[in-house]
Amino acid sequence: EVQVVESGGGLVQPGGSLRLSCAASGFTLNNYWIHWVRQAPGKGLMWVSHIIGDGTKTSYADSVKGRFTISRDNAKNTLYLQMNSLRAEDTAVYYCVKGGAYSTSPFDSWGQGTQVTVSS
């Protein structure tokens, strides 16, 4: 069964850092595009970042560029999102999402999400 499980969320002060993890099972990360999508309280869905299957390219939303870094450990079949210089507006549930083999593939498997709260 394809599954992604996020962890690492929590309460952090503005300017602080967190690293989210996404453990994949039932498939191999490096065969698929993998995304982070977030949802602020009471709001809609916003794409944050992705890494392509072969790991050679990453992309970020403008609002997180330069502060967030997506990476992958193929041996652990785990994806990460390093979040630095966190702001109140980064408060959200963060979802790890499996895409497909192509950039145009839909987001077909979602984790349960991990809550990130940025507050003093």
Task: Give the footprint of other proteins on this chain (CB under 8 A).
Answer: 35, 44-47, 50, 59, 61, 95, 103-108, 110-113
Torsional sign, CA 4, 2, 106, 80: positive
**Closest distance to other proteins from the beta carbon of 11 (Å):** 19
Whole-angstrom distance, CA of residue 85 vs CA of residue 14: 7
In terms of CB distance, is 73 or 108 closer to other proteins?
108
**Closest distance to other proteins from the beta carbon of 33 (Å):** 10
Amino acid occupying residue 115: Q
How far out from the chain centre does Cα 87 lie? 16
Residues in the chain: 120
**Closest distance to other proteins from the beta carbon of 100 (Å):** 9
In terms of CB distance, is 27 or 107 closer to other proteins?
107
**Closest distance to other proteins from the beta carbon of 84 (Å):** 20
Cβ(14)–Cβ(117) below 8 Å:
no
> 61, exposed or middle or buried, with CB in 10 Å at 0-12, 13-18, 19+?
middle
In terms of CB distance, is 80 or 95 closer to other proteins?
95
In terms of CB distance, is 13 or 112 closer to other proteins?
112
